[in-house]
């Protein structure tokens, strides 16, 4: 995951990580009650119990803080989604996809702001790269039977793989459209409808369709 910048170069400092985590949690709490565009640096700093100068030691503005919070949560969510190249629907698949959509719905204001038309290119690109790598690694694992470990850096480039890129784009597109429409279907419905689409480019052996 691409960590947010730290002006003091102290990303390894536990105090820095704790402060960043506290600011991210605070923003996630605040966005439950109001749109992201209506949240100020002062709002976050006051709720988190830090000074504005401390906030600016870690983030340029609320939007950058939102990007950091969003990418961190998305990493955990995508990690839990089964490999689309695995073939038949494994036990618990709809549960993990349900968790994915339920989380998006719970934090709809945050994700709608960042994944929508006026959203964050950084977050959209991060999600796309993260999902592409996950789909690529999962499909290769299913095809070869080898327990291929994922790369440490999920923003790293992988060999050009059209099904993996298609899967990632589809996941982003479905999620963004659902959010922009006000989440008209339940997370359970979204999970049931999305999994067959994600697996469509693959055969049962995990290889891309010719």
Q: Is the pLDDT of residue 189 over 90?
A: yes
In a domain, residue 9? The reply is no
- Per DSSP, the residues of the chain read --PPP-TTS-TT-HHHHHHHHHHHHHHHHHTTTS-GGG--HHHHHHHHT--HHHHHHH-SSHHHHHHHHHHHHHHHHHHHSPPGGG-S--TTHHHHHHHHHHHHHHTHHHHHHHHSTTS-HHHHHHHHHHHHHHHHHHHHHHHH---PPPPS-TTS-----HHHHHHHHHHHHHHHHHHHTT--S-HHHHHHHHHHHHHTTB-TTSPBP-
Q: Are residues 54 and 118 in the same domain?
A: no
In a domain, residue 58? The reply is yes
Select the more confidently predicted residue: 175 or 154: 175
For 52, the domain range is 14-63
Q: Once rounded to an integer, what is the mean pLDDT over residues 48-72?
A: 92
Q: Are residues 35 and 116 in the same domain?
A: no
pLDDT digits (tens, 9 = 90+) for 115-142: 888 778 888 888 888 888 877 777 776 6
In this predicted structure, what is the pLDDT of residue 195?
86
Q: Are residues 115 and 44 in the same domain?
A: no
The whole-model pTM stands at 0.71
In a domain, residue 2? The reply is no
Tally the domains of the chain: 2
Select the more confidently predicted residue: 147 or 184: 184
Q: Once rounded to an integer, what is the mean pLDDT over residues 83-97?
A: 59
pLDDT digits (tens, 9 = 90+) for 154-165: 555 677 888 888
* 41: CATH: 1.10.10.60
């Amino acid at each position: 995951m691409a960590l947010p910048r730290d002006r003091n170069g102290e990303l390894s400092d536990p105090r820095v990580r704790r402060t960043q985590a506290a600011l991210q949690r605070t923003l996630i709490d605040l966005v439950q009650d109001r749109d992201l565009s209506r949240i100020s640096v002062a709002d976050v700093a006051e709720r988190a119990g830090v000074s504005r100068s401390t906030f600016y030691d870690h983030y340029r503005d609320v939007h950058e803080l939102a990007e950091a919070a969003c990418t961190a949560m998305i990493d955990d969510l995508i990690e839990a989604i089964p490999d689309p190249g695995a073939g038949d629907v494994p036990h618990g698949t709809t549960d993990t996809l349900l968790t994915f959509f339920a989380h998006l719905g719970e934090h709809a204001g945050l994700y709608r702001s960042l994944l929508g038309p006026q959203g964050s290119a950084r977050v959209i690109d991060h999600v796309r790269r993260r999902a592409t790598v996950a789909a690529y690694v999962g499909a290769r694992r299913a095809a070869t039977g080898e327990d291929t470990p994922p790369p440490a850096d999920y923003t790293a480039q992988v060999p050009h793989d059209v099904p993996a890129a298609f899967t990632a784009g589809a996941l982003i597109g479905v999620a963004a459209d659902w959010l922009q429409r006000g989440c008209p279907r339940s997370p359970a419905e979204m999970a049931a409808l999305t999994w067959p689409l994600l697996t469509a480019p693959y055969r049962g052996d995990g290889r891309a369709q010719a």
